A and B are shown apart, each in its own frame.
Chain A
Amino acid sequence: MASNNYYDPADLRKFGNITEWSKELGDKFFDYYGKVFEEGALTAREKSLIALAVAHTEQCPYCIDAYTTDTLQRGVTKEEMMEAIHVGAAIKSGATLVHGVMMMNKVNKLEM
Protein backbone atom coordinates (compact mmCIF):
# COMPACT_ATOMS: atom_id res chain seq x y z
CA MET A 1 0.00 0.00 0.00
CA ALA A 2 1.33 3.40 -0.99
CA SER A 3 -0.42 5.10 1.90
CA ASN A 4 -0.73 4.48 5.60
CA ASN A 5 -4.44 5.10 5.44
CA TYR A 6 -7.19 2.86 4.19
CA TYR A 7 -8.88 5.91 2.69
CA ASP A 8 -6.87 8.54 0.81
CA PRO A 9 -8.74 11.51 -0.77
CA ALA A 10 -6.35 11.40 -3.74
CA ASP A 11 -7.57 7.84 -4.50
CA LEU A 12 -10.94 9.24 -5.57
CA ARG A 13 -9.22 10.65 -8.67
CA LYS A 14 -8.02 7.13 -9.47
CA PHE A 15 -11.52 5.64 -9.54
CA GLY A 16 -11.37 5.39 -13.32
CA ASN A 17 -8.30 3.14 -13.03
CA ILE A 18 -10.49 0.18 -12.05
CA THR A 19 -10.98 -0.38 -15.80
CA GLU A 20 -7.26 -1.24 -16.09
CA TRP A 21 -7.67 -4.70 -14.61
CA SER A 22 -11.05 -5.44 -16.12
CA LYS A 23 -11.70 -3.16 -19.02
CA GLU A 24 -14.97 -4.55 -20.30
CA LEU A 25 -16.71 -4.66 -16.93
CA GLY A 26 -15.20 -1.34 -15.86
CA ASP A 27 -16.34 0.39 -19.04
CA LYS A 28 -19.80 -1.11 -18.73
CA PHE A 29 -20.02 0.13 -15.15
CA PHE A 30 -18.96 3.69 -16.02
CA ASP A 31 -21.32 3.82 -19.00
CA TYR A 32 -24.14 2.72 -16.74
CA TYR A 33 -23.09 5.11 -13.98
CA GLY A 34 -22.95 8.05 -16.36
CA LYS A 35 -26.36 7.19 -17.81
CA VAL A 36 -27.97 6.90 -14.39
CA PHE A 37 -27.02 10.46 -13.49
CA GLU A 38 -28.23 12.07 -16.72
CA GLU A 39 -31.34 14.27 -16.70
CA GLY A 40 -34.35 11.98 -16.93
CA ALA A 41 -37.71 11.69 -15.24
CA LEU A 42 -35.71 12.98 -12.27
CA THR A 43 -33.47 16.03 -12.71
CA ALA A 44 -29.71 15.60 -12.35
CA ARG A 45 -30.01 17.81 -9.28
CA GLU A 46 -32.54 15.49 -7.63
CA LYS A 47 -30.37 12.50 -8.44
CA SER A 48 -27.37 14.21 -6.92
CA LEU A 49 -29.25 14.78 -3.66
CA ILE A 50 -30.36 11.13 -3.58
CA ALA A 51 -26.73 10.12 -4.16
CA LEU A 52 -25.62 12.37 -1.32
CA ALA A 53 -28.10 10.77 1.08
CA VAL A 54 -27.13 7.25 0.00
CA ALA A 55 -23.42 8.15 0.23
CA HIS A 56 -24.06 8.78 3.93
CA THR A 57 -26.12 5.68 4.60
CA GLU A 58 -23.39 3.67 2.83
CA GLN A 59 -20.83 5.68 4.81
CA CYS A 60 -18.60 5.88 1.77
CA PRO A 61 -16.04 8.69 2.24
CA TYR A 62 -15.32 8.89 -1.50
CA CYS A 63 -19.01 9.21 -2.32
CA ILE A 64 -19.55 11.82 0.40
CA ASP A 65 -16.62 13.83 -0.98
CA ALA A 66 -17.84 13.53 -4.57
CA TYR A 67 -21.53 14.25 -3.97
CA THR A 68 -20.96 17.11 -1.55
CA THR A 69 -19.04 18.82 -4.35
CA ASP A 70 -21.56 17.74 -6.96
CA THR A 71 -24.56 19.09 -5.05
CA LEU A 72 -22.74 22.38 -4.38
CA GLN A 73 -22.02 22.66 -8.10
CA ARG A 74 -25.71 22.28 -8.77
CA GLY A 75 -26.56 25.16 -6.47
CA VAL A 76 -28.00 22.97 -3.72
CA THR A 77 -28.13 24.74 -0.36
CA LYS A 78 -26.71 23.47 2.92
CA GLU A 79 -30.23 23.15 4.31
CA GLU A 80 -31.29 20.93 1.39
CA MET A 81 -28.16 18.81 1.77
CA MET A 82 -28.71 18.28 5.49
CA GLU A 83 -32.40 17.45 4.97
CA ALA A 84 -31.42 14.84 2.38
CA ILE A 85 -29.05 13.24 4.88
CA HIS A 86 -31.82 13.19 7.47
CA VAL A 87 -33.98 11.30 4.98
CA GLY A 88 -31.20 8.72 4.73
CA ALA A 89 -30.77 8.67 8.49
CA ALA A 90 -34.52 8.30 9.06
CA ILE A 91 -34.67 5.31 6.71
CA LYS A 92 -31.61 3.79 8.39
CA SER A 93 -33.04 4.19 11.89
CA GLY A 94 -36.52 3.26 10.68
CA ALA A 95 -35.07 0.12 9.15
CA THR A 96 -33.50 -0.71 12.49
CA LEU A 97 -36.60 0.02 14.50
CA VAL A 98 -39.06 -1.70 12.19
CA HIS A 99 -37.14 -4.90 12.92
CA GLY A 100 -38.30 -4.34 16.46
CA VAL A 101 -41.57 -5.81 15.30
CA MET A 102 -39.71 -9.00 14.48
CA MET A 103 -38.30 -9.01 18.00
CA MET A 104 -41.75 -8.35 19.45
CA ASN A 105 -43.28 -11.17 17.38
CA LYS A 106 -40.63 -13.56 18.59
CA VAL A 107 -41.04 -12.52 22.22
CA ASN A 108 -44.81 -12.86 21.95
CA LYS A 109 -44.39 -16.31 20.48
CA LEU A 110 -41.92 -17.50 23.10
CA GLU A 111 -43.46 -16.02 26.22
CA MET A 112 -46.40 -17.59 27.99
Chain B
Amino acid sequence: MLKEKNKKQQSLHKRHSALAVANKQLEKLSNGIFASGELPTFSEKIKETNHFPLRPKKLEILQINVGYMCNQVCEHCHVDAGPDRKEIMTRETMEQCLEIIRNTGAHTLDLTGGAPEMNPNFRWFVDEASKAGIKDFIVRSNLTIIRANKKQYDLPEFFKNHNVHVVSSMPHWTRGKTDKQRGEGVFDQSIKALQELNAVGYGMPDSNLRLDLVYNPSGAFLPGNQASMEKEFKHALLEDFGIHFHSLFAITNLPISRFLDYLIASENYEDYMYSLVEAYNPAAVKNVMCRNTISVSWDGYLYDCDFNQMLELKVASKIQHISEYNEAVLNDRNIIISQHCYGCTAGAGSSCQGAVAE
Protein backbone atom coordinates (compact mmCIF):
# COMPACT_ATOMS: atom_id res chain seq x y z
CA MET B 1 0.00 0.00 0.00
CA LEU B 2 2.76 2.42 0.99
CA LYS B 3 4.59 1.71 -2.24
CA GLU B 4 1.45 2.49 -4.22
CA LYS B 5 1.00 5.73 -2.28
CA ASN B 6 4.61 6.79 -2.90
CA LYS B 7 4.22 6.09 -6.60
CA LYS B 8 1.28 8.47 -6.70
CA GLN B 9 3.51 11.23 -5.40
CA GLN B 10 5.72 11.01 -8.47
CA SER B 11 5.15 12.01 -12.09
CA LEU B 12 4.90 9.34 -14.80
CA HIS B 13 8.27 10.64 -16.00
CA LYS B 14 9.90 9.99 -12.67
CA ARG B 15 8.32 6.53 -12.51
CA HIS B 16 9.62 5.80 -16.03
CA SER B 17 6.11 4.81 -16.93
CA ALA B 18 5.55 3.82 -20.57
CA LEU B 19 2.83 6.47 -20.77
CA ALA B 20 5.34 9.21 -19.96
CA VAL B 21 6.20 8.98 -23.66
CA ALA B 22 3.79 11.03 -25.79
CA ASN B 23 3.88 8.55 -28.68
CA LYS B 24 2.77 5.72 -26.41
CA GLN B 25 -0.27 7.76 -25.42
CA LEU B 26 -1.07 8.53 -29.04
CA GLU B 27 -0.72 4.84 -29.90
CA LYS B 28 -3.15 3.90 -27.15
CA LEU B 29 -5.60 6.52 -28.42
CA SER B 30 -5.41 5.19 -31.99
CA ASN B 31 -5.47 1.46 -31.34
CA GLY B 32 -8.11 -0.83 -29.85
CA ILE B 33 -11.69 0.38 -30.14
CA PHE B 34 -10.68 3.07 -32.64
CA ALA B 35 -8.53 0.87 -34.87
CA SER B 36 -11.20 -1.85 -34.96
CA GLY B 37 -13.85 0.64 -36.05
CA GLU B 38 -15.94 0.00 -32.93
CA LEU B 39 -15.81 3.75 -32.34
CA PRO B 40 -15.20 6.41 -35.01
CA THR B 41 -11.92 8.33 -34.86
CA PHE B 42 -12.23 12.04 -34.10
CA SER B 43 -11.48 12.98 -37.70
CA GLU B 44 -14.18 10.59 -38.96
CA LYS B 45 -16.62 12.07 -36.46
CA ILE B 46 -16.00 15.71 -37.35
CA LYS B 47 -16.19 14.84 -41.05
CA GLU B 48 -19.80 13.75 -40.42
CA THR B 49 -20.61 17.29 -39.30
CA ASN B 50 -18.40 19.02 -41.92
CA HIS B 51 -15.82 20.32 -39.48
CA PHE B 52 -12.81 18.66 -41.09
CA PRO B 53 -10.14 19.95 -41.35
CA LEU B 54 -10.43 21.90 -38.15
CA ARG B 55 -9.21 25.45 -38.80
CA PRO B 56 -8.42 28.36 -36.48
CA LYS B 57 -10.68 31.37 -36.10
CA LYS B 58 -9.35 34.73 -34.94
CA LEU B 59 -6.65 34.34 -32.28
CA GLU B 60 -8.03 35.43 -28.90
CA ILE B 61 -6.01 33.59 -26.29
CA LEU B 62 -2.27 33.28 -25.91
CA GLN B 63 -1.59 30.54 -23.38
CA ILE B 64 1.94 30.23 -22.07
CA ASN B 65 3.11 27.25 -20.06
CA VAL B 66 6.03 28.51 -17.96
CA GLY B 67 7.06 25.08 -16.70
CA TYR B 68 5.92 21.65 -15.60
CA MET B 69 7.19 21.91 -12.02
CA CYS B 70 4.41 21.82 -9.43
CA ASN B 71 4.10 21.42 -5.67
CA GLN B 72 1.22 18.97 -6.20
CA VAL B 73 0.98 15.62 -7.99
CA CYS B 74 -2.69 15.46 -8.94
CA GLU B 75 -3.90 12.09 -10.09
CA HIS B 76 -5.62 13.45 -13.20
CA CYS B 77 -2.92 15.92 -14.32
CA HIS B 78 -2.64 16.12 -18.12
CA VAL B 79 0.74 17.85 -17.79
CA ASP B 80 2.23 15.07 -15.64
CA ALA B 81 3.42 17.94 -13.46
CA GLY B 82 5.09 17.52 -10.09
CA PRO B 83 8.01 18.55 -7.91
CA ASP B 84 10.28 16.25 -9.90
CA ARG B 85 9.68 17.97 -13.27
CA LYS B 86 12.57 20.21 -14.27
CA GLU B 87 11.19 21.73 -17.48
CA ILE B 88 11.12 25.43 -16.64
CA MET B 89 10.88 28.37 -19.03
CA THR B 90 14.10 30.42 -19.05
CA ARG B 91 14.21 34.19 -18.79
CA GLU B 92 15.48 34.32 -22.36
CA THR B 93 12.37 32.47 -23.63
CA MET B 94 10.21 34.70 -21.43
CA GLU B 95 11.76 37.73 -23.11
CA GLN B 96 10.80 36.27 -26.48
CA CYS B 97 7.28 35.71 -25.16
CA LEU B 98 7.08 39.33 -24.00
CA GLU B 99 7.80 40.49 -27.53
CA ILE B 100 4.79 38.50 -28.70
CA ILE B 101 2.60 39.62 -25.80
CA ARG B 102 3.31 43.28 -26.70
CA ASN B 103 2.31 42.74 -30.33
CA THR B 104 -0.36 40.07 -30.29
CA GLY B 105 -3.95 40.59 -31.42
CA ALA B 106 -5.11 38.23 -28.65
CA HIS B 107 -7.20 39.80 -25.88
CA THR B 108 -6.33 37.17 -23.26
CA LEU B 109 -2.98 36.10 -21.85
CA ASP B 110 -3.18 32.86 -19.91
CA LEU B 111 -0.22 31.69 -17.81
CA THR B 112 -0.22 28.08 -16.78
CA GLY B 113 2.09 25.26 -15.64
CA GLY B 114 2.76 23.18 -13.42
CA ALA B 115 2.49 25.82 -10.78
CA PRO B 116 3.53 28.93 -12.73
CA GLU B 117 4.57 30.61 -9.48
CA MET B 118 7.40 28.04 -9.11
CA ASN B 119 9.23 29.49 -12.09
CA PRO B 120 12.00 31.63 -10.50
CA ASN B 121 11.27 34.45 -12.98
CA PHE B 122 7.50 34.31 -12.56
CA ARG B 123 7.09 37.63 -10.74
CA TRP B 124 9.36 39.50 -13.11
CA PHE B 125 7.49 38.01 -16.05
CA VAL B 126 4.06 38.97 -14.66
CA ASP B 127 5.35 42.46 -13.91
CA GLU B 128 6.57 42.93 -17.50
CA ALA B 129 3.60 41.20 -19.16
CA SER B 130 1.08 43.29 -17.19
CA LYS B 131 2.51 46.43 -18.85
CA ALA B 132 1.51 45.17 -22.31
CA GLY B 133 -2.11 46.27 -21.86
CA ILE B 134 -3.72 42.88 -22.50
CA LYS B 135 -7.40 43.00 -21.58
CA ASP B 136 -7.59 39.77 -19.59
CA PHE B 137 -4.44 38.50 -17.86
CA ILE B 138 -5.02 35.06 -16.34
CA VAL B 139 -2.76 33.17 -13.97
CA ARG B 140 -3.77 29.57 -13.29
CA SER B 141 -2.90 29.17 -9.64
CA ASN B 142 -3.34 25.86 -7.87
CA LEU B 143 -4.13 27.69 -4.58
CA THR B 144 -1.90 25.56 -2.33
CA ILE B 145 1.17 27.32 -3.75
CA ILE B 146 -0.04 30.45 -1.94
CA ARG B 147 0.32 28.51 1.33
CA ALA B 148 3.38 26.46 0.32
CA ASN B 149 5.99 28.69 1.98
CA LYS B 150 6.36 32.15 3.49
CA LYS B 151 7.84 33.60 0.30
CA GLN B 152 4.52 32.98 -1.44
CA TYR B 153 2.19 34.30 1.27
CA ASP B 154 1.96 37.69 -0.44
CA LEU B 155 0.79 36.21 -3.77
CA PRO B 156 -2.80 37.49 -3.33
CA GLU B 157 -1.44 41.05 -2.95
CA PHE B 158 0.96 40.51 -5.86
CA PHE B 159 -1.88 39.32 -8.10
CA LYS B 160 -4.01 42.26 -7.03
CA ASN B 161 -1.24 44.78 -7.75
CA HIS B 162 -0.97 43.43 -11.29
CA ASN B 163 -4.71 43.14 -11.82
CA VAL B 164 -4.30 39.45 -12.56
CA HIS B 165 -7.38 37.29 -13.16
CA VAL B 166 -6.92 34.25 -10.92
CA VAL B 167 -8.25 30.89 -12.12
CA SER B 168 -7.90 28.05 -9.63
CA SER B 169 -8.68 24.37 -9.50
CA MET B 170 -11.18 23.07 -6.99
CA PRO B 171 -12.55 19.62 -7.83
CA HIS B 172 -15.21 19.62 -5.13
CA TRP B 173 -16.57 21.48 -2.14
CA THR B 174 -15.88 18.51 0.11
CA ARG B 175 -12.52 17.51 1.56
CA GLY B 176 -12.73 13.82 0.62
CA LYS B 177 -13.22 14.25 -3.11
CA THR B 178 -10.68 17.07 -3.35
CA ASP B 179 -7.89 15.34 -1.45
CA LYS B 180 -8.41 12.07 -3.31
CA GLN B 181 -7.67 13.77 -6.60
CA ARG B 182 -5.16 16.42 -5.58
CA GLY B 183 -3.40 14.96 -2.54
CA GLU B 184 -3.86 14.87 1.21
CA GLY B 185 -4.27 18.25 2.86
CA VAL B 186 -4.91 20.07 -0.43
CA PHE B 187 -8.51 20.89 0.47
CA ASP B 188 -7.71 22.67 3.74
CA GLN B 189 -4.85 24.64 2.17
CA SER B 190 -7.01 25.56 -0.83
CA ILE B 191 -9.79 26.82 1.45
CA LYS B 192 -7.29 28.93 3.37
CA ALA B 193 -5.87 30.32 0.11
CA LEU B 194 -9.35 31.17 -1.20
CA GLN B 195 -10.12 33.01 2.04
CA GLU B 196 -6.90 34.98 1.64
CA LEU B 197 -7.78 35.84 -1.96
CA ASN B 198 -11.21 36.98 -0.76
CA ALA B 199 -9.58 39.07 1.95
CA VAL B 200 -7.77 41.24 -0.63
CA GLY B 201 -10.94 41.52 -2.71
CA TYR B 202 -10.67 38.58 -5.13
CA GLY B 203 -13.96 36.91 -6.02
CA MET B 204 -16.14 39.27 -3.98
CA PRO B 205 -19.57 39.94 -5.50
CA ASP B 206 -18.91 43.47 -6.81
CA SER B 207 -15.14 43.21 -7.14
CA ASN B 208 -13.26 43.65 -10.42
CA LEU B 209 -10.62 41.27 -9.13
CA ARG B 210 -11.75 38.12 -10.88
CA LEU B 211 -11.50 34.79 -9.14
CA ASP B 212 -12.86 31.81 -11.07
CA LEU B 213 -12.73 28.17 -10.10
CA VAL B 214 -12.13 25.16 -12.29
CA TYR B 215 -14.10 22.01 -11.59
CA ASN B 216 -13.06 18.77 -13.15
CA PRO B 217 -14.52 15.41 -12.19
CA SER B 218 -12.61 13.33 -9.64
CA GLY B 219 -12.94 10.10 -11.60
CA ALA B 220 -13.95 8.43 -14.85
CA PHE B 221 -17.10 10.45 -15.47
CA LEU B 222 -18.00 13.65 -17.30
CA PRO B 223 -18.71 16.98 -15.66
CA GLY B 224 -22.33 17.88 -15.00
CA ASN B 225 -24.06 21.05 -16.13
CA GLN B 226 -21.73 23.99 -15.47
CA ALA B 227 -24.41 26.40 -14.24
CA SER B 228 -25.88 23.85 -11.79
CA MET B 229 -22.42 22.93 -10.51
CA GLU B 230 -21.60 26.61 -10.02
CA LYS B 231 -24.74 27.01 -7.93
CA GLU B 232 -23.81 24.01 -5.76
CA PHE B 233 -20.22 25.22 -5.33
CA LYS B 234 -21.28 28.76 -4.45
CA HIS B 235 -23.83 27.60 -1.93
CA ALA B 236 -21.52 25.10 -0.22
CA LEU B 237 -18.36 27.23 -0.15
CA LEU B 238 -20.23 30.25 1.20
CA GLU B 239 -22.18 28.28 3.77
CA ASP B 240 -19.29 26.17 5.03
CA PHE B 241 -16.35 28.56 4.71
CA GLY B 242 -17.66 32.05 3.86
CA ILE B 243 -15.91 31.89 0.48
CA HIS B 244 -16.94 33.91 -2.58
CA PHE B 245 -15.89 33.40 -6.18
CA HIS B 246 -17.15 34.56 -9.56
CA SER B 247 -17.58 31.76 -12.10
CA LEU B 248 -17.06 28.03 -12.20
CA PHE B 249 -15.50 26.46 -15.29
CA ALA B 250 -16.52 22.81 -15.68
CA ILE B 251 -13.73 21.02 -17.52
CA THR B 252 -13.72 17.47 -18.87
CA ASN B 253 -10.66 15.35 -18.07
CA LEU B 254 -8.93 14.52 -21.33
CA PRO B 255 -7.69 10.95 -21.75
CA ILE B 256 -3.99 11.76 -21.81
CA SER B 257 -1.02 11.49 -19.45
CA ARG B 258 -1.85 10.70 -15.82
CA PHE B 259 -5.60 10.62 -16.40
CA LEU B 260 -5.08 8.14 -19.24
CA ASP B 261 -2.86 6.10 -16.93
CA TYR B 262 -5.63 6.15 -14.32
CA LEU B 263 -8.29 5.16 -16.87
CA ILE B 264 -6.27 2.17 -18.01
CA ALA B 265 -5.27 1.05 -14.50
CA SER B 266 -8.86 1.31 -13.24
CA GLU B 267 -10.21 -0.48 -16.34
CA ASN B 268 -12.34 2.52 -17.23
CA TYR B 269 -10.63 3.48 -20.50
CA GLU B 270 -13.09 1.97 -22.98
CA ASP B 271 -16.22 3.04 -21.11
CA TYR B 272 -14.83 6.55 -20.75
CA MET B 273 -14.06 6.81 -24.46
CA TYR B 274 -17.56 5.55 -25.19
CA SER B 275 -19.09 8.25 -23.01
CA LEU B 276 -16.98 10.92 -24.71
CA VAL B 277 -17.93 9.75 -28.19
CA GLU B 278 -21.60 9.35 -27.28
CA ALA B 279 -21.65 12.87 -25.86
CA TYR B 280 -20.08 14.35 -29.03
CA ASN B 281 -21.69 17.73 -29.68
CA PRO B 282 -21.12 19.43 -33.06
CA ALA B 283 -22.00 22.80 -31.46
CA ALA B 284 -18.99 22.41 -29.19
CA VAL B 285 -16.68 21.80 -32.17
CA LYS B 286 -17.52 25.25 -33.50
CA ASN B 287 -16.18 26.88 -30.33
CA VAL B 288 -13.46 24.46 -29.34
CA MET B 289 -10.54 26.34 -27.79
CA CYS B 290 -7.82 25.28 -30.24
CA ARG B 291 -9.64 27.46 -32.78
CA ASN B 292 -8.87 30.68 -30.91
CA THR B 293 -5.80 29.75 -28.87
CA ILE B 294 -2.09 29.32 -29.31
CA SER B 295 -0.25 27.38 -26.65
CA VAL B 296 3.44 28.10 -25.98
CA SER B 297 5.55 25.52 -24.17
CA TRP B 298 8.29 26.14 -21.61
CA ASP B 299 10.90 25.85 -24.38
CA GLY B 300 9.09 28.22 -26.74
CA TYR B 301 7.43 25.78 -29.14
CA LEU B 302 3.92 26.40 -30.42
CA TYR B 303 0.91 24.11 -30.15
CA ASP B 304 -2.82 24.16 -30.90
CA CYS B 305 -3.59 23.67 -27.19
CA ASP B 306 -2.01 22.63 -23.90
CA PHE B 307 -3.10 19.03 -24.51
CA ASN B 308 -1.36 18.84 -27.88
CA GLN B 309 1.66 20.35 -26.15
CA MET B 310 1.75 17.43 -23.72
CA LEU B 311 1.36 15.00 -26.64
CA GLU B 312 4.26 16.81 -28.37
CA LEU B 313 2.10 17.60 -31.40
CA LYS B 314 3.54 20.92 -32.61
CA VAL B 315 1.43 23.21 -34.81
CA ALA B 316 1.21 22.18 -38.46
CA SER B 317 2.83 25.37 -39.68
CA LYS B 318 6.24 26.33 -41.01
CA ILE B 319 6.37 28.48 -37.87
CA GLN B 320 6.75 26.28 -34.83
CA HIS B 321 8.70 28.40 -32.36
CA ILE B 322 8.16 31.81 -30.76
CA SER B 323 11.53 32.99 -32.10
CA GLU B 324 9.89 33.09 -35.56
CA TYR B 325 6.36 33.97 -34.39
CA ASN B 326 4.02 35.40 -37.01
CA GLU B 327 0.34 35.42 -36.14
CA ALA B 328 -0.99 35.68 -39.69
CA VAL B 329 1.10 32.76 -40.95
CA LEU B 330 0.28 30.70 -37.86
CA ASN B 331 -3.43 31.25 -38.21
CA ASP B 332 -3.34 29.70 -41.67
CA ARG B 333 -3.00 26.10 -40.52
CA ASN B 334 -4.92 22.91 -39.93
CA ILE B 335 -5.35 21.99 -36.28
CA ILE B 336 -3.85 18.64 -35.30
CA ILE B 337 -6.40 16.24 -33.87
CA SER B 338 -6.57 12.80 -32.34
CA GLN B 339 -9.02 10.88 -30.18
CA HIS B 340 -8.21 12.94 -27.04
CA CYS B 341 -10.06 15.81 -28.78
CA TYR B 342 -13.35 14.09 -27.96
CA GLY B 343 -12.76 15.44 -24.44
CA CYS B 344 -13.33 19.00 -25.67
CA THR B 345 -16.47 18.23 -27.70
CA ALA B 346 -18.46 16.15 -25.21
CA GLY B 347 -21.75 17.54 -23.92
CA ALA B 348 -21.51 21.29 -23.43
CA GLY B 349 -17.90 21.09 -24.59
CA SER B 350 -14.81 21.84 -22.55
CA SER B 351 -12.01 24.36 -22.69
CA CYS B 352 -9.67 26.12 -20.28
CA GLN B 353 -12.55 28.63 -19.97
CA GLY B 354 -15.08 25.88 -19.23
CA ALA B 355 -18.11 24.90 -21.31
CA VAL B 356 -18.24 26.23 -24.88
CA ALA B 357 -21.78 25.31 -25.99
CA GLU B 358 -25.21 25.55 -24.42
Q: Is the CB of B274 within 8 A of A75?
A: no
Q: Is the CB of B232 within 8 A of A75?
A: yes
| Residue from B215, B224, B274 in contact with A13 in the complex, judged by beta carbons closer than 8 Å | B274
Q: Is the CB of A74 within 8 A of B228?
A: yes
Q: Is the CB of B228 within 8 A of A73?
A: no
**From residue A51, how far is it (CB to closest CB) to chain B in Å?**
14
A43 within 8 A of B: yes
Say yes or no: A73-B177 contact (C-beta < 8 A), given A13-B274, A44-B228.
no
Which A-chain residue is minimally distant from B231 (CB atoms)? Answer: A43
Residues of A within 8 A of B23 (CB): none
A69 vs B278: C-alpha distance in the bound complex, in angstroms?
14
Residues of B within 8 A of A78 (CB): 176
Residues of A within 8 A of B229 (CB): 74-75
Which A-chain residue is minimally distant from B173 (CB atoms)? Answer: A75
B217 within 8 A of A: yes
B183 within 8 A of A: no
Residues of A within 8 A of B221 (CB): 69, 72-73
Q: Is the CB of B222 within 8 A of A73?
A: yes
Which A-chain residue is minimally distant from B347 (CB atoms)? Answer: A73
A56 within 8 A of B: no
A39 vs B225: C-alpha distance in the bound complex, in angstroms?
11
Residue interface bits B227-269, CB-to-A below 8 A is 1, else 0: 0110011000000000000000000000000000000000000
Q: Is the CB of A73 within 8 A of B223?
A: yes
Q: Is the CB of A72 within 8 A of B278?
A: no
Residue interface bits A9-42, CB-to-B below 8 A is 1, else 0: 0000100000000000000000000000001000
A3 within 8 A of B: no
Residues of B within 8 A of A93 (CB): none
A39 vs B35: C-alpha distance in the bound complex, in angstroms?
39
**From residue B327, how far is it (CB to closest CB) to chain A in Å?**
38
B291 within 8 A of A: no
| Residue from A13, A45, A75 in contact with B172 in the complex, judged by beta carbons closer than 8 Å | A75
Q: Is the CB of B224 within 8 A of A73?
A: yes
Residues of A within 8 A of B83 (CB): none
Which A-chain residue is minimally distant from B225 (CB atoms)? Answer: A44
**From residue A47, how far is it (CB to closest CB) to chain B in Å?**
12
**From residue B262, how far is it (CB to closest CB) to chain A in Å?**
15
Residues of B within 8 A of A74 (CB): 224-225, 228-229
Residues of B within 8 A of A39 (CB): 228
Q: Is the CB of A13 within 8 A of B278?
A: yes
Which A-chain residue is minimally distant from B171 (CB atoms)? Answer: A75
A75 vs B236: C-alpha distance in the bound complex, in angstroms?
12
Residue interface bits B205-232, CB-to-A below 8 A is 1, else 0: 0000000000101010111110011001
Task: Tell me the B residues contacting A by CB distance below 8 Å.
Answer: 172-174, 176-177, 215, 217, 219, 221-225, 228-229, 232-233, 274, 278
Task: Tell me the A residues contacting B by CB distance below 8 Å.
Answer: 13, 39, 43-45, 69, 72-75, 77-78
Given contacts A73-B224, A74-B229, A77-B174, 11 further A-B contacts (CB under 8 A): A13-B278, A69-B221, A72-B219, A72-B221, A74-B224, A74-B225, A75-B172, A75-B173, A75-B233, A77-B177, A78-B176
A-B contact pairs, 22 of them (CB 8 A): A13-B274, A13-B278, A43-B228, A44-B225, A45-B224, A45-B228, A45-B232, A69-B221, A72-B219, A73-B217, A73-B222, A73-B223, A73-B224, A74-B224, A75-B173, A75-B215, A75-B224, A75-B229, A75-B233, A77-B174, A77-B176, A78-B176
Closest 5 interchain pairs by CB?
Answer: A74-B224, A73-B224, A72-B221, A73-B221, A69-B221
